[in-house]
Amino acid sequence: MAIFLTGTTGYLGSYVAAGLFTGHRDTLNLLVRGKSEEEARERLWTSLQLHFGFREFYEYLESRVRVFRGDLTSERFGLSDDEYHALVDTTDSIIHCAASLNRKSERQCLNVNLRGGLEVIQLARRAQNRNGVRRYSHVSTVAVAGKRRNEVVTEDAAIDWERSDYDPYARTKKFGEDMLHRLLADVPHTVFRPAIVLGDSRRSETSQFDMVRAFDVLVRMPVLPLRPGDKIDIVPANYVSKAIVTIHQQDEPAHGIYHLSSGPGSETYRELTDALAEAGGWRRPAYWPWMGGTFSGTVNRLSNRKGAVARGASLLKVFWPYLDWNTVFDNSRVVAELGEAPAKFSSYAFPLLKFSRENKFHYPAKPWPQLDTDTPEKSAAAGGARA
């Protein structure tokens, strides 16, 4: 039997897959888009090379993975009857990581986060009826808490249906949680709500750059329209994935919902900019919070133009509500489960930013090795060290 994992070719999904490979013995059923088996495998390699060299990746692929080429938003994922029945028959738990983070497109969020989420729930229902499902783990977001300001939010107090949402992403993720609770009430399920997932506390490499770009714009500004004492809840991807993998494998987790966040230990903007200035030898910015409204209006206007400035403004426009809300999410549950708190962003922010700038905010992915050899095993042996 296997764990069905969605979103493996995404940033967080790749971390979850890597954690399952290295820390557990489960076989993985992976849903991957691809016109051919070769294309699907190459997409997996592009995603997982952040964690493994090719030799190790190939060994996992051959021994512990079954790839199902399909699309999350298609009925039965677009699989043939035989493939879909095989997926149902061999799946005994599910980790649903896939999501659209396109905060500007309601259509895309509805299609992926709700229609796609319903397809995964239907798979779980069929697997439950067939052999039983040990656990369904659903990766949501702290943004389901809606518009907040100057708060510490606990898991059980986050959902408030009378509160407005910031964007289509938050709205559809909130409804996704509701679908899970209503439609799989008889299946053991856990909801994970990550805060802002940014970088890896163990190394500088990353393959996800949107939020890094937004921070790069901010740290280049001599004056910030923010309150220096406001906290921002940032958590590294390796901590988030460790929590998901660890708790998913437990027979009876202590709770049904976990905030995967920095919680009360979240750092202030002053602490972050001081740490970056010291590490980079930069001048510390001034803080003019009274410029927040003017700054937001300027960003909105610039985002409608073309060029690099417009791209930076567009990112800030999307993330500005989450930068200005001074809200953190209590993480006492996950800290108790793991026995450790997440690393502070200031401890790895400068190497992350340096790597991103040096690589022009693009991950230097390696292609699938092409060698003059007869066997894939020899190609696997040529895999380099971890990217």
The pLDDT tens digits of the residues spanning 267-301 come to 999 999 999 999 999 999 999 999 888 888 887 78
Q: Which residues pair with 232 in a beta bridge?
A: 267
Structure confidence at residue 371 (pLDDT):
55
Supply the CATH number for residue 151's domain: 3.40.50.720
Q: Is residue 27 part of a domain?
A: yes
Match 């991103």 to its residue by tokens.
356
Q: Is residue 322 packed enough to be buried (19+ CB in 10 Å), middle (13-18) or exposed (0-12)?
A: buried
**CB 248 within 8 Å of CB 135:** yes
CA distance 364 to 252: 41
Q: Is residue 297 part of a domain?
A: no
CA distances from 134 to 83, 91, 94, 203 (A): 21, 9, 8, 34
Q: Is residue 100 part of a domain?
A: yes
Backbone angles phi, psi at 168, to 5 degrees: -60, -35
**CB 206 within 8 Å of CB 244:** no
Q: Is residue 221 part of a domain?
A: no
The model carries a pTM of: 0.93
Structure confidence at residue 372 (pLDDT):
45
State how many domains the chain has. Answer: 1
Per-residue pLDDT reduced to its tens digit, 242-266: 999 999 999 999 999 999 999 999 9
Q: Is residue 292 part of a domain?
A: no
Q: Which residues pair with 300 in a beta bridge?
A: none
Torsion of CA 266, 272, 275, 277, to 10 degrees: 180
CA distance 53 to 50: 8
Q: Is residue 312 part of a domain?
A: no
Half-sphere exposure for 308 (CA within 13 Å, toward CB):
5
* 3-state SS track over 239-266: HHHHHHHHHHCCCCCCCCEEEECCHHHC
CA distance 309 to 142: 29
Structure confidence at residue 315 (pLDDT):
73
Low-confidence spans in the chain with pLDDT less than 70? 308-309, 371-387
Question: Which residue segment(s) compose the domain that 23 sits in?
Answer: 2-199+233-266+327-344+363-381
Q: Is residue 321 part of a domain?
A: no
Structure confidence at residue 377 (pLDDT):
52
Q: Is residue 349 part of a domain?
A: no
